[in-house]
Each structure stands twice: as structure tokens, then as C-alpha cells.
Amino acid sequence: MFKAEHNQLEGQISSSQLIINKRIEVSSAFILGTRRKGTFVNMRKRRLCRLILLQVICTIGLITYLHLVDTSRERETLQNVLRDDNPYGNVRFGGKWSPSEENRCGCSEKVAILVPYRDREEHLDIFLRHMHPFLQRHRLDYVIYVIEQHGEERNFCKGLLYNVGFTEALKDDPTYDCFIFHDVDLLPEDSRNLYTCSKSPCHLSVAIDKFDYNLPYNDLFGGVSAMKTSHYKLVNGYSNLFCGWGGEDDDIARRLKRHMLKISRPDKNVARYKMLSHNQTEKNPQRFKLLGHWLSRAMKDGLKSLKTTGYNVTSTSQRELYTHILVNITKRGVIDYHHKKAI
């Protein structure tokens, strides 16, 4: 009795097992896309479908892998760029930077970048972010000095600020060999434009976007220029008398010529600059008169007359990206050459 029941049960199990097996077979055949012809399953078709499915999975996997590798590589490059262009990374307080011994450019020049400044915070910010990575690419030993004007004088006295910057920078470090005189609104576009001092004074801002990348006139020396410390002293620096826009650069160009110092220029395809936009500063109506008397002033008006020019250094401080020199300039009177000498 018990055996008969057992055999019956076994028979039921094996028949239901058969049904289940058949269902699995049918559904897998359906999934794999094979068609049954009656009860016969085409084994070759099933194998082919499995192979296709495997290939599809592999291709998707490969594409995903390549995409991940690519994005991580892209991210890595971007990080490098950001690291390279991060002005805060390795600039010492006071805006000082020097290359490591093994990375020196081969020149031992110490360069001071002088930037006369007033009321152009957003320009200064852009300028510093641009200049630090730019100068570091040259592997220069440099410091950026920002010479800020305040006080009663309404007009901007760029030449005087350059002379003060030059004098204060040499007090800070008497070993500077080279000075770069730089407008805050000019950004060099090409890293091949080297900020070093050659044998002769060099006019660096040859091609400015504002002038369609052309030099407006041959004797132009304004914008960005480079001079050896000895040359700047020789020509008595800039005139202290040009306050307001224009003329101070033409005046020093004449001084250089007088000392037979020929102005050199880099290639105009390299010496390219972008000028940051701003409102035109008030032009100095006295600039023509002043220029007319350039020779009689040349040996007095400048570095030599700085102490009697009516300014004092309010403070000198080391800021995160530059050395700040705050200069108080007292109000200038009108210079009348017919009754009084310039100084």
C-alpha cells in the first residue's frame, strides 16, 4: 500500500518536473528569440542568439568603461590646468615668487613689476590672477608692486608713482636688475612675450586689441615697458609733473633717445595684449606744454627731484598677491613756464 502510494507520488513529481522543465525551455527559447517548430527547439539558433546577447552585453560594458576612463582623464587634465593657473598656490606674501633651483630659466635676473594704481579694483583682481601664472611660466624671480595714489591731487600722476615704486622697491630689495612698468588694464596674451630686460629698454605692449593689434606710432613707449635698473637711473626716471592722461611715456622716450638708448620691441605677433575696458581718464591739458620743455627738465625733474615733489609714502604692506605701496600726493598747481621753472 505504502509502496504503491510512493510510486504514484514519484510519478506525479517526475511528470510535474517535466512540465516545469518544458516551461523553462519554452520561456528561455522565447527570451533568446528562438522559435520552436512544434516541439523541436533549434539548438543552433539558440546558441547564435546567446552569442549575440553576449556580444551586446560586452559592447555596452566596453563603451561604459571607455567613457569612465575618458571622463576621469579629462577631469585630471582640468585639475592640472587649475593647479597650474592657481595664483594662490605658491605665491609668497607680498606677491613674491621665485623658481626652484632646478627650474630656473638660466637667467639670474630679479624682476620688479611696477603697477601704478587708483580706483580700479576689478582690473587689479583680473590683472593679478592673469599675471602670476604668466610670470611663473617664464620661471622668473619676481615681485609685483602696486603703487596706489591717494590724497588731494585729483589727477593720476603715473610717472611720479613709477618713480616712487622704483625707489621703494629698491629699498625693499636693492638687488633688482630689471623693472617692468605696467598699466593695470593690459593683459599679455602670449607667453612668449618675455618679461626680462634686454640690453636696451624694451617696449612690450606692441600690439593692443584696442588699436587693432597695430602700433599707433613708432616712438610709443606707453602701456608696458622694461628697463634695466641702471638705464632707469641714467635717464632720471619718469617726469614727476605729468598728472592726468598722456605724455609721460613720450617724455621718457625722449630721455632714452637723448642717452642713445634705442627702444627695442618683440615681434608684434608675440607682443599682443588685451586692454580691459574702462572710461577714458581725463586728459592732461598741460601735456603738450610739458613735452615742449622736455629737455630743460630732463636732468632735474624725475628721480632726482622726487623728495621735493610733494608726496609721502603712507604705508607699505605685504598683501596676499602683491606688495602695496600707498602714496599720498598733494595737490599740484598749474605749471607756468613763462614765469616759473618746472621744479
Q: Which residues bind ligand BGN (CB under 6 A)?
A: 216, 220, 222, 246-247, 249-250, 287-288, 291
- φ, ψ (nearest 5 deg) of residue 78: -60, -40
- 3-state SS track over 122-150: HHHHHHHHHHHHHHHHCCCEEEEEEEEEE
Q: How far is the CB of 217 from ligand BGN (least distance, A)?
A: 8
Q: Are strands 141-150 and 323-329 parallel, antiparallel or unpaired?
A: parallel
Q: Name which of 227 and 321 has its Cβ closer to ligand BGN.
A: 227
Q: Name which of 132 and 182 has its Cβ closer to ligand BGN.
A: 182
d(CA 177, CA 103): 20
Q: Name which of 148 and 250 has its Cβ closer to ligand BGN.
A: 250
Q: How far is the CB of 315 from ligand BGN (least distance, A)?
A: 29
d(CA 42, CA 235): 99
Q: Chain-centre distance of CA 245, in angstroms?
A: 26
> Residues 185, 276: contact at Cβ < 8 Å?
yes
**β partners of residue 75:** none
Q: How far is the CB of 283 from ligand BGN (least distance, A)?
A: 7
Q: How far is the CB of 216 from ligand BGN (least distance, A)?
A: 6
Q: How far is the CB of 252 from ligand BGN (least distance, A)?
A: 10
Q: Name which of 153 and 250 has its Cβ closer to ligand BGN.
A: 250
d(CA 53, CA 48): 9
Q: Name which of 34 and 239 has its Cβ closer to ligand BGN.
A: 239
